[in-house]
Amino acid sequence: MPVPPARLLAASALTVAALVTVSGCLGSVPDRVARHVPGSPAAEQAPQASPGAKPALTQAQARAALITEADLGVPWGPTEGIATWRDGLLKAVTNVPECQRLLDALYADELLGEPSGTSAVTSLDDGDDQAQLRYRVAAHRRADAERTLTWLRTLPGACAQFTAATTVAGLQSVQVSETQLPQVGDDRQGLRVTLTGQANEDEQPTILTMDVAVVLAGDDAIVLTDGALGELPADATRQALEVGTQRLAQIRERGRALA
């Protein structure tokens, strides 16, 4: 029997009302629930990196950013091994905790602690001055690196002068002072550490002079130590930092362009 038009109209009205009610209920579901509906586009979409995020430093970039003997010129050359004065003088003990922390960091070549990512290091020797320069490029968490810079800035006051005992070279009088670094990177700190041994009748006292430099550039860091028995080679620290930070910036820029 044909359904009367009036009854069809009433049924349609009820169906529309039910759809509107269901739609209204779904629209009131909190966002946090809607995002977890299986199969929803929001649930399936992978997190996206922010447009301005900087790609992580790669191993190839870190190695390419290292300085070489050509950057410093004669008489610098590839290292022939760990400098004899490292074990003899930097492996030392003092009763001042902050100064012991500095000595330990210098001996282990870990002024900024363990890198958070990629790291590359090189060593160069200057045979004329018995000098050795160690240069590291590494990824570090910026907040951790800044805390270390803050600590380094306290050392010319906290460790201006103290005594340290070595097993090979006897007692050392240690002095720590601030040094000026070239205006490179985002932030930086330089120290000069001098260890002077006790004089005796037969020999002059040994004097180890070390320049220490930390430069931050974004989430990357450059750590340099340049040490010698006696006088340091002129301008080696400044030259290494100027060349090295510019090279790191250029390598990072090329990496961003190719990303």
- Indicate whether 12 and 118 sit together in one domain: no
- Indicate whether 40 and 140 sit together in one domain: no
Q: Tell me: the pLDDT tens digits for 218-235?
A: 999 999 999 999 888 889
State CA 121 to chain mean position distance: 12
* Dist CA 132 CA 77 (whole Å): 10
Q: How confident is the model at residue 201 (pLDDT cuts 50, 70, 90)?
A: low
- Indicate whether 26 and 69 sit together in one domain: no
Report pTM. 0.77
- Indicate whether 27 and 64 sit together in one domain: no
The predicted model gives 186-197 an average pLDDT of: 96
Q: Tell me: the pLDDT tens digits for 100-134?
A: 999 999 999 999 988 999 999 999 999 888 899 99
- Indicate whether 33 and 70 sit together in one domain: no
- Indicate whether 135 and 74 sit together in one domain: yes
Neighbours of 76 (CB within 10 A): 24
- Indicate whether 35 and 119 sit together in one domain: no
First to last CA, the chain: 71
Answer whether residue 54 is part of any domain. no
Report the pLDDT value the prediction gives residue 55, as an integer from 0 to 100: 86
Phi-psi category of 171—alpha, beta or left, where left has phi over 0 and alpha has psi -120 to 50? beta
Structure tokens at 211: 């320049």
Answer whether residue 166 is part of any domain. yes
Which residues touch 31 (CB under 8 Å, ≥6 apart)? Answer: none
Q: Tell me: the pLDDT tens digits for 173-189?
A: 999 999 999 999 999 99
- Indicate whether 136 and 20 sit together in one domain: no
CATH number for the domain harbouring residue 168: 3.40.1000
Residue position matching structure tokens 């790669």: 58
Answer whether residue 50 is part of any domain. no
Answer whether residue 67 is part of any domain. yes
- Indicate whether 27 and 138 sit together in one domain: no
Answer whether residue 53 is part of any domain. no
Sign of the dihedral defined by the CA atoms of residues 78, 214, 208, 171, in that order: negative
Which runs of consecutive H residues, i.e. helices, occur in the chain? Answer: 5-27, 31-34, 41-44, 59-64, 69-72, 84-85, 97-108, 142-158, 236-258
Sign of the dihedral defined by the CA atoms of residues 145, 147, 148, 153, in that order: positive
Answer whether residue 200 is part of any domain. yes
Residue 229, domain extent: 59-258
**What residues does 172 pair with on adjacent strands?**
164, 197
Q: Tell me: the pLDDT tens digits for 13-71?
A: 434 343 334 344 334 333 333 333 333 333 334 333 334 457 899 999 999 999 999 99
- Indicate whether 108 and 153 sit together in one domain: yes
Tell me what percent of the residues of the chain surpass a pLDDT of 90. 64
**What residues does 137 pair with on adjacent strands?**
120, 222
- Indicate whether 26 and 64 sit together in one domain: no
- Indicate whether 33 and 120 sit together in one domain: no
Is residue 198 scored above 90 in pLDDT?
no
Answer whether residue 49 is part of any domain. no
How many domains does the chain fold into? 2
Is residue 98 scored above 80 in pLDDT?
yes
The number of C-alpha atoms within 13 Å of 140 and in the hemisphere containing its C-beta is 26
